[in-house]
Amino acid sequence: MNGRRWNGGGWNIAGLVLVGVIGLGATIGLPMWLELASLLDITVYLILAILALSLALVWGYGGILCFGQSAFFGLGAYAYAIAMFNIGESTIPFILSIVLPAVFAALLGYFMFYGRISDVYLGVITLTVTLILFNSVNSTAGPEYHIGEARLGGFNGIPSIPPLNWPGFSGSPLDLNDLFYVSIVLLLAVYFGLRWLLVSRFGRVMVAIRENEKRAGFLGYDARLYKLATFTLGGALAGLAGCLFANWGAFVSPTIFGLGQSAQIIIWVIVGGRGTLIGPVVGCIAIQWLTAWLGTAQFTKASLAHVVGPGIADALSSVLGFADLSNTNLVLGAILLAFVLLVPKGVVPTLLDLARAVVNRRRPADDLVSDKAEGTT
Amino acid sequence: MTEAAVLLETIDLGMRFGGVEAVSGVNFRLTEGELRCLIGPNGAGKSTFFKLLTGQLLPTSGKVLYRGRDISGAETHEVARRGIGIKTQVPSVFDGLSARENIWIAASRGRPTRRANEMVDEILSRIAMTGVADRQVGQLAHGQRQWLELGIVLAAEPELILLDEPAAGMTHEEVVRTAELIREINRTRSLIVVEHDMQFIRMIASKVTVLDRGRVLVEDSMENILRHPTVRDVYLGKRVAA
């Protein structure tokens, strides 16, 4: 576009440099400053941020409300675990963990997009699919449920999953420090890769289809094909995150397909800002950090009683039905509600709007151009 | 003198919604390079007819031929790829993108990026929107959105352009400019224009097809159409016996 700004996701050089510098700084600095336990916490945030980016692409730019992104995340984790127990060397399991969810997404997407399923039903179908996977995998507890050497384990999941190794060297597995490096490098690669995609012809058309599918069709673009490609890529990225997640905990269980996990991904995107890439990453890391903090903060009814008095604390806990007011789901629900009502565009787009408002105030009135469209970060 | 080739033809085209026949047995023929106006009272079936031509609706009877090939039942994007472009009644544009980006999307299909970029500047200047090129389309005035949609259609360079009420909601000056633009487009493209504004139709002076209750009532020049008693009856509300 002659170097001009592209609203659907342009090369915002300042933003790219900022992300690059922060990414490089974190890659070098965090292992130096943090203990292994803290580094492990950060690693899972990075892995989940890749998952957040997959929905940022599918929903934020593709306009496809996928309630079941966790299906591909879980498939990636299970594919890696099962393949690892059978193969032993991680190159093929790693590839399978990306390819299998992508193929599954392509098949599901084919029936949804070519079957002209409307947006609302698309959300319902994707949610149903992940819940079916949850229930199916949950019922595989007996020893008869195995794929090759890998026992599926039902609701107990698959423990002691062998870690990734350097490609071709099964005798040199990645340690936890290595996993941090792999995760941050892959997160940055996914982020910059998606930024490139968004300024490519494909990305621009994808955003145009999100804006007006009918008009795109009148111009000769097959919206179904673009949506299918976007959905498949989203499935592949979620699968990659699933593989890393299975490595991080050396464990995978059916809860990975659960409603809670699905809802959480959507909350990350809503809080961070739909139509941006950095927003869902920020939303994911912030919410995960908050969830972890709530889990350790001991914010119980007793501590609340010290602040508001025992009567109000009693009333609150009985009205809400929770003995422990640190209930994470309650807090996440409240955050979601607050954002939908008060900051509907999400944190990053709202901050960008504020920054633009300040800049525009300094410009002469005739220079004002609309900068409201999202998607430059 | 050799007869111009038939570009678009409909044979007994019909569309029924439950008990309502919106389009019924329409035999329509457009030759290459022609500018045809399609008029008729509200509910005459003009928009449905356009939807049938562009693959938005599957006809319940008859067929649509484009350059002799049956395109009835083709997907919207397939119809577009064959060379039919449409400007809809309510401007259908990419609201969240800028005017420049809107035109780029249209210009870039099937063309190298450099050519698409050149075309964007050409079209923006042709529709006099260079000054608002980087403004988000959702914030433009109705007339500007109408013009932008016309620019989008032009950027795709279709052989046949369907314009559904291109002058609706425009000021008199905008209407005059739109008529000029349509005449200019007609030098290289074929057009079918649906319009209510008789003054506007006179400005673009062409053959007129009158639709009423889903059927072709009459086809003639504008002068004859205006003198036609049945057409006057239809427009004044006096129904013609079927």
Mutate which: B93, B101, B159, vs A, most A CBs within 10 A: B101
Cα gap B139→B96, rounded to integer Å: 9
B1-81+195-242 maps to which CATH number? 3.40.50.300
The pLDDT score that the predictor gives to residue B43 is: 86
DSSP string, chain B: -PPPPEEEEEEEEEEEETTEEEEEEEEEEEETT-EEEEE-STTSSHHHHHHHHTTSS--SEEEEEETTEE-TT--HHHHHHHTEEEE-SS----TTSBHHHHHHHHHHTTS-HHHHHHHHHHHHHHTT-GGGTTSBGGGS-HHHHHHHHHHHHHHT--SEEEEESTTTT--HHHHHHHHHHHHHHTTTSEEEEE-S-HHHHHHH--EEEEEETTEEEEEEEHHHHHH-HHHHHHHHT-PPP-
CB contact A226 to B (< 8 Å): no
* Residue among A6, A212, A222 minimizing CB distance to B77: A222
Mutate which: B53, B94, B103, B117, vs A, most A CBs within 10 A: B94
Contacts of B75 in chain A (CB under 8 A): 217, 222
* Residue among B77, B88, B100 minimizing CB distance to A220: B77
Burial of A192 (0-12, 13-18, 19+ CB in 10 A): middle
The pLDDT score that the predictor gives to residue A297 is: 58
Beta strands in chain A (DSSP E): 146-147, 150-151
Strands B207-212 and B215-221 turn out to be antiparallel
pTM of the model: 0.88
Cα gap B105→A90, rounded to integer Å: 42
Confidence of residue B118 (pLDDT cuts 50, 70, 90): very high
Q: Which A residues, 157 through 196, put their C-beta within 8 Å of a C-beta on chain B?
A: none
Nearest to A276 by CA among A210, A348, A202, A209: A348
Structure tokens given for A212: 């007006």
* Residue among A204, A212, A372 minimizing CB distance to B136: A372
The pLDDT score that the predictor gives to residue A374 is: 41
Complex-level ipTM beyond the 0.85 threshold: yes
The pLDDT score that the predictor gives to residue A367 is: 47
CB contact A8 to B (< 8 Å): yes
Cα gap A136→A152, rounded to integer Å: 11
Nearest chain B residue to A221 by CA distance is B77
Amino acid (1-letter code) at residue B224: N
How many CA within 13 A on the CB side of residue B201? 25
pLDDT of B169 over the 90 cut: no
Nearest chain B residue to A223 by CA distance is B77
The pLDDT score that the predictor gives to residue B159 is: 95
Angle at B126 between CA B125 and CA B129, to 5 degrees: 50
Domains of chain B: which residue ranges?
1-81+195-242
Cα gap A47→A24, rounded to integer Å: 17
Structure tokens given for B242: 């079927």
Angle at A37 between CA A34 and CA A40, to 5 degrees: 90
Q: What is the mean pLDDT of residues B5-27?
A: 94
Nearest chain B residue to A2 by CA distance is B117
* Chain A nearest C-alpha distance from B161 (Å): 11
* Residue among B77, B80, B97 minimizing CB distance to A373: B97
CB atoms within 10 A of CB A342: 8
Nearest to A164 by CA among A43, A68, A332: A43
Percent of chain B with pLDDT over 70: 96
Between chain A and chain B, how many beta carbons pairs sit less than 8 Å apart?
A: 95
* Chain A nearest C-alpha distance from B58 (Å): 15
CB contact B136 to A (< 8 Å): yes
The pLDDT score that the predictor gives to residue B172 is: 87
* Chain A nearest C-alpha distance from B108 (Å): 8
CB contact B122 to A (< 8 Å): no
The pLDDT score that the predictor gives to residue A373 is: 40
Structure tokens given for A152: 């599926």
Contact by Cβ (8 Å): A179, A165: no
The pLDDT score that the predictor gives to residue B74 is: 94
Q: What is the mean pLDDT of residues B1-26?
A: 89
Contacts of A9 in chain B (CB under 8 A): none
Displacement of CA A321 from its chain's centroid (Å): 30
How many CA within 13 A on the CB side of residue A7? 27
Cα gap B179→A248, rounded to integer Å: 66
CB atoms within 10 A of CB A338: 11
Contacts of A6 in chain B (CB under 8 A): 101
Digit-by-digit pLDDT tens for chain A (377 residues) are: 444 445 444 567 888 889 999 999 998 888 889 888 899 999 999 999 999 999 999 999 999 999 999 999 999 999 999 999 999 899 999 999 999 999 999 999 999 999 989 888 999 999 999 999 999 999 999 899 999 999 999 999 999 999 999 888 888 899 999 999 999 999 999 999 999 999 999 999 999 999 999 999 999 999 999 999 999 999 999 999 999 999 999 999 999 999 888 999 999 999 999 999 999 999 999 999 988 887 665 556 666 677 677 777 777 666 665 555 556 777 778 888 888 899 888 999 999 888 888 887 776 554 444 444 444 44
* Residue among A201, A208, A222 minimizing CB distance to B97: A208
Strands B35-39 and B207-212 turn out to be parallel
Could you read off the pLDDT of B211-236 as tens digits, one per residue?
999 999 999 988 888 888 888 777 75
User: CB–CB of A220 and B104 under 8 A?
Assistant: no
Nearest to B178 by CA among B168, B187, B188, B167: B167
Nearest to B29 by CA among B13, B44, B16, B51: B13
Mutate which: B76, B100, B104, B118, vs A, most A CBs within 10 A: B76
Q: What is the mean pLDDT of residues B134-163?
A: 92
Instruction: Note the residue count of chain A.
Output: 377
Domains of chain A: which residue ranges?
17-258
* Residue among B81, B101, B113 minimizing CB distance to A220: B81
Nearest chain B residue to A7 by CA distance is B97
CB contact B54 to A (< 8 Å): yes
* Residue among A201, A218, A369 minimizing CB distance to B54: A218
Mention every residue, 6+ apart, whose C-beta is less than 8 A from residue A192.
Answer: A16, A19, A20
The pLDDT score that the predictor gives to residue B143 is: 84
* Residue among B81, B85, B105 minimizing CB distance to A208: B105
Could you read off the pLDDT of B49-63 as tens digits, one per residue?
999 999 999 999 999
The pLDDT score that the predictor gives to residue A1 is: 46
Contacts of B136 in chain A (CB under 8 A): 7, 370, 372-373
Nearest chain A residue to B132 by CA distance is A369
